[in-house]
Amino acid sequence: MAQKSLKTLAAKNTSTLNRTHLITLAIHATYLLCSLLLFRRRYRFLPYILCALPALGIEIYFERLARPTFSANGDLKRAGEDLEAKGLTEWMWDVLYWTWGCIVLVTLAGTWAWWLYAAVPVYTVYSLFGTYSKVKGGMGGLMGQGQTVEENSGQSKRQAKMEKRGGQKVQYR
């Protein structure tokens, strides 16, 4: 069983991508059918296009990133990247799910639900600020945060504390 893990990843990526495309197709088709046939005045297409474009872009990115490729004789050339990876991939799945939820809510409840999509950029800014704060805190004195005790006197914090209390007292027996 050569490359068993790659073949498993390829099969999982293929099924995930196919399922994602089918769900997207069903959600968008339902929205468009309801907006064109049932409730003509209730729906607007500009918010729909503005909110659907990032999700469609993410799906195209996932397709190019994770779709396995095979050689002419059917051997696996590339399994694709893992769609369950942490970090940016996880965030893109969140945006995709949130877009689906907003489109479903707009279909069921009306155009006011487009405002829920504003949570995506707000969450992104919040996430970036948290990451920036962690990086800045992790850099310590490298980001111009001031001089530490070690830089001032060449001593460790423990040595500075002991000297402040009167120095190290040595007892001889």
pLDDT at residue 166 greater than cutoff 80: no
pLDDT at 152 over 60: no
Q: Is residue 26 assigned to a domain? A: yes
pTM: 0.66
Is residue 146 assigned to a domain? no
Residue 156 within any structural domain of the chain = no
Burial zone of 106 (CB within 10 Å; 0-12 exposed, 13-18 middle, 19+ buried): buried
Residue 159 has pLDDT above 90, yes or no: no
Closest among 128, 114, 95, 92 to 42, alpha carbons compared:
114
Q: Which domain holds residue 29?
A: 4-135
Determine the pLDDT at residue 63: 92
Q: What angle do CA 62, 23, 44 make, to 5 degrees?
A: 100
User: Does 27 fall in a domain?
Assistant: yes
Structurally, the chain folds into a number of domains equal to 1
Which amino acid would we find at residue 142?
A: L
Closest CA to 91 of 125, 66, 68: 125
Instruction: Give pLDDT tens digits for 24-83.
Output: 999 999 998 888 887 665 567 888 888 899 999 999 999 999 888 888 887 878 878 888
Domain membership of residue 59 (yes or no) is yes
Contact indicator for 91, 55 with CB cutoff of 8 Å? no
DSSP the chain: -TTHHHHHHHHHHHHHHHHHHHHHHHHHHHHHHIIIII-TTT--HHHHHHHHHHHHHHHHHHHHHH--EE-TTS-EEE----TT-STHHHHHHHHHHHHHHHHHHHHHH-GGGGGGGGHHHHHHHHHHHHHHHHHHHHTGGGGS----HHHHHS--HHHHHHHHTT-------
Answer yes or no: is 127 within a domain: yes
In a domain, 72, yes or no: yes
Burial grade of 79 (CB within 10 A; 0-12, 13-18, 19 or more): buried
* In the block, residue with structure tokens 């530490």: 148
In a domain, 73, yes or no: yes
